[in-house]
A and B are shown apart, each in its own frame.
Chain A
Amino acid sequence: MQAFTKLNGLVAPMDRANVDTDAIIPKQFLKSIKRTGYGPFLFDEWRYEDHGEPGMDCTNRPKRADFVLNKQRYQGAEILLARENFGCGSSREHAPWAILDFGFSCVIAPSFADIFFNNCFKNGILPIVLDDLVMDQLFKACVKHEGYRLDVDLEQQTVTTPGGESFHFEVDTFRKHCLLNGLDDIALTLTQTDVICSYENERRKSASWLF
């Protein structure tokens, strides 16, 4: 996994609540057996006028001019501002894969759906929760100032505006450690092999029907 430490990135605003994973990456793209290549199809139904299918060349597909990520000023954005309950719905990890493949490595919202939130950490994306009032402020600033960028520092757990205003965010110690170091948590769990085996041995005796 790619590590996440600091990011100074262009910000794009996705100003709607309850953005679901079906919208982030529609179902037809879930047929792929790979982890990469989803970026061109991120928000496919909102982004393009036509119906997208896996394997399509998207360079000449008709784009919806009013969709935020199609606007010239947000090209190259690396930080996505979102509203409440972002990533609700299905558990598809294709959603964070598509977000990452598109170029975002940080999503900031007042709340996230649990599974999506968890999936982000497994893929080098930092999901940050900031409260509604701060979100309103960031949305306004982002829309008002073309080229609006934010500084994100995972070690310090801060989001800093161009004006120098800094907001603290919470993150689990273990998730932070994995993200800062780009660690594969399977390898970490496998260092606990003895403990897992002894748990299993006990359970085989007390609840044999589970094995």
Chain B
Amino acid sequence: MKAKTLFDKIWGQHIVKENDDGSVLLYIDRHLVHEVTSPQAFEGLRLAGRKPWRVNASVATPDHNVPTTERDKGITDPVSRTQVETLDSNCEEFGITEFGLDDIRQGVVHVMGPEQGLILPGMTVVCGDSHTSTHGAFGSIAMGIGTSEVEHVLATQCLIQKKPKVMRINVNGARPNGITGKDIALFIIGKVGTAGGTGYALEFAGEAIRSLSMEGRMTLCNMAIEAGARCGMIAVDDVTIDYVNGRPYAPSGEIWEQAEAAWRQLHSDDHANFDKELNFQAKDIVPQVSWGTSPEMELPITESVPDPLDARDEVQREGWSRALQYMGLQAGTPLQDINIDKVFIGSCTNGRIEDFREAAAMVKGKHVAKNVKLALAVPGSGLVKQQAETEGLDTIFREAGFEWREPGCSMCLAMNADRLEPRERCASTSNRNFEGRQGMGGRTHLVSPAMAAAAAIAGHFVDIRDWH
């Protein structure tokens, strides 16, 4: 039998029909829904008189718009409130399970899904959100889609797709201390660029990847989209199986045993053929910080802000110059000399329990620096919040001068009240440093939770490997 990649195995299992032009009708096992990209899709169903094809395939939760303070007062912004209420009424009308604002399971859709066992190895997973790539961490094909495709999946449980090429990225050797999934993600994006993965499904492999927890793997796959990839994925192993076992929506008993046997096959075969393969050494990775307005504009914490004169071509030089101007940075400034105004720990990238444990370990017994106006710790879900509180992490954050908030997307994209003011500089565990992403004129530096937490205490970026 021909050796297959992980991607090819799952893709092959989901082909409903092959079309003449090379595209396929691909079956979708799981569809996650949130309030921002679904209202027009539900409206489309209504106008066409259609019903969801398989109602239990979709699960919804509000996340982008929700307030992270004073939940009991509801949503004060009327436009946001309408959108969340529209999700509630659409889910009720069409019979879709929703974890609403008053449910402890509510949270960032990409934190909630895995936590509930809604994401299983070998699945095809979609959501009207680019960071759906997160779920590839389970050895699944997980893709972000637009609203028209949300409607298409609701109506047909399928998508018309062209098979992407497959690229394996190996990170070889042991993962050095202090190097997280986030650092690996930023490192890779810095190397391949934000369009380096365009047209590809990425498989992350190698010793350093296998040593990551599920949280770390989700962080890495989450950012596959920032490399332009259609999806990112990691082979199933004991870490995957152990994480899924016992979750509310995971199978149990005899069916679990059948499922596990099938999941154990979800890895690329020896000698499988990849369209492209890249190799990196884990020992070359140090804690990363982004300096510009694209996730590829990132450097090791030991470096300085680059000079546009060193750019590879005119288009990049123009991009770097514009980024330095927007970020208010001078070429040649050591990254460790950059002072920050705000700190954000959370998001679908880094809003899981391990992220808060790592951040809490940095701030325990210390206090945020005087120049830091606001330090936010925003759990990715109600259950992450509850777990953190059980472990006393909320107290550690509060005593260090952090605000401990309710779950949601928060300042990752600032659709709610949590945002940067013009020219404010933020150490953020989120995924995008685009202009205006965290608020108009706001300046975002992407880092790991430990790096963000240490920056909060120091008031500027530090190398956590030699920081006390």
* A positions within 8 Å CB-CB of B: 16-18, 20, 22-23, 26-28, 30-35, 45, 51, 54-55, 83-85, 88-93, 96, 111, 113-115, 118-119, 122-123, 172-174, 184-186, 189-190, 192, 195-196, 199-200, 203, 207-211
A71 to B436 Cα, complex, angstroms: 23
A205 to B317 Cα, complex, angstroms: 57
* Contact assessment for A185 and B152 in the assembled complex, using a CB-CB cutoff below 8 Å: yes
Whether a CB of chain A sits under 8 angstroms from the CB of B243 is no
Whether a CB of chain A sits under 8 angstroms from the CB of B130 is yes
Closest chain B residue to A34, Cβ basis: B40
Whether a CB of chain A sits under 8 angstroms from the CB of B333 is no
Q: Which A residues lie within 8 Å of B36 (CB)?
A: 30-31, 92
A49 to B144 Cα, complex, angstroms: 32
Q: Which B residues lie within 8 Å of A207 (CB)?
A: 13, 122, 259, 262
* Contact assessment for B413 and A85 in the assembled complex, using a CB-CB cutoff below 8 Å: no
Q: Which B residues lie within 8 Å of A16 (CB)?
A: 318-319, 322
Q: Which B residues lie within 8 Å of A27 (CB)?
A: 413-415, 437
Q: Which A residues lie within 8 Å of B245 (CB)?
A: none
A20 to B151 Cα, complex, angstroms: 24
Q: Which A residues lie within 8 Å of B347 (CB)?
A: none
Q: Chain A interface: which of B101-109, B156-164, B211-219?
A: B156-164
Whether a CB of chain A sits under 8 angstroms from the CB of B210 is no
Q: Which A residues lie within 8 Å of B130 (CB)?
A: 89-91, 115
Q: Which A residues lie within 8 Å of B435 (CB)?
A: 22-23, 45
Interface centre among B145, B158, B436, B440 (most CB of A within 10 A): B436
Nearest-CB distance from A205 to chain B (Å)? Answer: 11
A51 to B108 Cα, complex, angstroms: 27
- Residues 136-192 (chain B) with a chain A CB within 8 angstroms: 144-149, 151-152, 155-158, 160, 162, 164
* Contact assessment for A209 and B319 in the assembled complex, using a CB-CB cutoff below 8 Å: no
* Contact assessment for B21 and A174 in the assembled complex, using a CB-CB cutoff below 8 Å: yes
Q: Can you pick out 5 interface pairs between chain A and chain B where the beta carbons lie within 8 Å of each other? A: A20-B294, A28-B415, A111-B198, A172-B23, A200-B157
Closest chain B residue to A199, Cβ basis: B16
Nearest-CB distance from B149 to chain A (Å)? Answer: 7
Interface centre among A27, A174, A203, A208 (most CB of B within 10 A): A27
* Contact assessment for A85 and B198 in the assembled complex, using a CB-CB cutoff below 8 Å: yes
Q: Which A residues lie within 8 Å of B23 (CB)?
A: 172, 174
Partner of B146, one of A28, A115, A173, A195: A115
Partner of B27, one of A18, A92, A113, A196: A196
Q: Which A residues lie within 8 Å of B199 (CB)?
A: 114
* Contact assessment for B86 and A92 in the assembled complex, using a CB-CB cutoff below 8 Å: no
Chain B: interface residue total (CB-CB under 8 A): 78
Partner of B82, one of A22, A33, A113: A33
Partner of A119, one of B86, B132, B146, B156: B146
Closest chain B residue to A36, Cβ basis: B40
New contact pairs (8) apart from A17-B316, A88-B228, CB-CB < 8 Å: A17-B318, A32-B83, A84-B195, A90-B432, A114-B230, A115-B130, A174-B23, A186-B155
Nearest-CB distance from B225 to chain A (Å)? Answer: 8
Whether a CB of chain A sits under 8 angstroms from the CB of B5 is no
* Contact assessment for B146 and A192 in the assembled complex, using a CB-CB cutoff below 8 Å: no
Partner of A195, one of B17, B21, B65, B315: B17
* B positions within 8 Å CB-CB of A: 13, 16-17, 19-21, 23, 25, 27, 29, 36-37, 39-40, 43-44, 48, 50, 53-54, 56, 64-65, 77, 79-80, 82-83, 86, 120, 122-123, 128-130, 132, 144-149, 151-152, 155-158, 160, 162, 164, 194-195, 198-199, 228, 230, 251, 255-256, 258-259, 262, 294, 315-316, 318-319, 322, 413-415, 432, 434-437, 440
* Contact assessment for A209 and B415 in the assembled complex, using a CB-CB cutoff below 8 Å: no
Q: Which A residues lie within 8 Å of B151 (CB)?
A: 186
Interface centre among B132, B194, B251 (most CB of A within 10 A): B194
A55 to B77 Cα, complex, angstroms: 13
- 10 tightest CB-CB pairs across the interface, nearest first? A122-B148, A33-B39, A93-B146, A119-B146, A209-B251, A85-B195, A91-B144, A93-B147, A173-B21, A91-B130
Q: Which A residues lie within 8 Å of B40 (CB)?
A: 33-35, 93
A34 to B79 Cα, complex, angstroms: 12
Known: A31-B79, A85-B195. A51 touches B440 (CB 8 A): yes
Partner of B194, one of A18, A31, A93: A18
Nearest-CB distance from A170 to chain B (Å)? Answer: 12
Q: Which A residues lie within 8 Å of B315 (CB)?
A: 17, 83-84
Q: Which B residues lie within 8 Å of A18 (CB)?
A: 194-195, 294, 319
Known: A88-B228, A186-B48, A192-B16. A114 touches B65 (CB 8 A): no
A90 to B413 Cα, complex, angstroms: 10
Closest chain B residue to A20, Cβ basis: B434
* Contact assessment for B86 and A33 in the assembled complex, using a CB-CB cutoff below 8 Å: yes
Q: Which A residues lie within 8 Å of B79 (CB)?
A: 31-32, 54-55
Nearest-CB distance from A120 to chain B (Å)? Answer: 9
* Contact assessment for B415 and A17 in the assembled complex, using a CB-CB cutoff below 8 Å: no
